[in-house]
Structure 1
Amino acid sequence: MVAWFEIPVIDMDRAIAFYEKVFNISLQRQQMGIEEMAFFPFDGEKKGAISGALIKNEKFYKPSDNKGVMIYFESLEGDLAKELSRVEAAGGKVLQEKKLINEQVGCMGLFLDTEGNRMAMYHNITK
């Protein structure tokens, strides 16, 4: 049911550098009217695939560490401990190391990005 997400940022350069380093990806930056955005990779051929963007618009978006929706990023490397290990070197903070939710669901971890957003990583160990 989820189709899109947007992560508020204060400093776009810093936020792009953080997410690119942690997930070993490239984001595509674009000005969209008054909003500055950087798009996460998207595989439109994959059924159920969703994507999103970093977004800077101080009037409508504000980073938050404890309010609102939390996004869970799927581990691209199959072991979210690898991505979590890069969070602090990229300027963020690990809030919860890799933790087993249960054998049927998988593992998760929490982090604070460089902009002050609380985010999560997830990996389904049954796949």
Structure 2
Amino acid sequence: MLHNAPLVWGEIPVENMDRAVEFYGKHFGVSFTREVMNDMEMAILETEDKEAASIGLVKHEMMQPSANGSVLYLNLSEQLSGLVDKIAQAGVKILLPIMPIKDGECGFIALFQDSEGNTVGLWSKDK
């Protein structure tokens, strides 16, 4: 068994960085620090805990948005139903409505399609 959680970083591919930053900021109230690393344009999610695993929006020719790639699950709300209702009312496509994991013992998930066409997950301990 691993001593620490293995996830340290996740990347969400984007085609239009301005559109993606606006989408996540508008719907989830998050902010990003933008930078260019070599020829890779990035927007790094700002968090209070600098040591925590995080994500970045990344624009690079090697990375293409996809509805069928790996799925990152983001914990952006203490209660999932209010957040999912809010983004659905704003026109965000919900791919999987709120679903319990092990009858809610392990929390709840939902899937949505972001501005770039990626399938992204939401997770919360409470429905």
Tell me the SS of whatever aligns to 2:64.
coil
**How many residues get paired?**
121
**Paired amino acid for 1:60:** M
**Paired amino acid for 1:110:** L
d(CA) in 1 for partners of 2:20, 2:85? 17
Q: Give yes or no for the alignment of 1:55 onto 2:35.
A: no
Q: Give yes or no for the alignment of 1:36 onto 2:36.
A: no
**CA-atom RMSD, angstroms?**
2.1
d(CA) in 2 for partners of 1:24, 1:4? 20
Aligned counterpart, 1:95 = 95
* Deviations 1:21-72, CA, capped at 9 Å, x for gaps: 22111111112221111011233367xx210200001x210011013x1100
- Taking structure 2 as the reference length, what is the TM-score of the superposition? 0.83
Aligned counterpart, 2:68 = 66
Residue 4 of structure 1: how far off its partner (Å): 0.4
- Taking structure 1 as the reference length, what is the TM-score of the superposition? 0.83
Q: Percent same amino acid at aligned positions?
A: 33
* Structure 2 gaps, min length 5: 1-5
Residue 99 of structure 1: how far off its partner (Å): 1.9
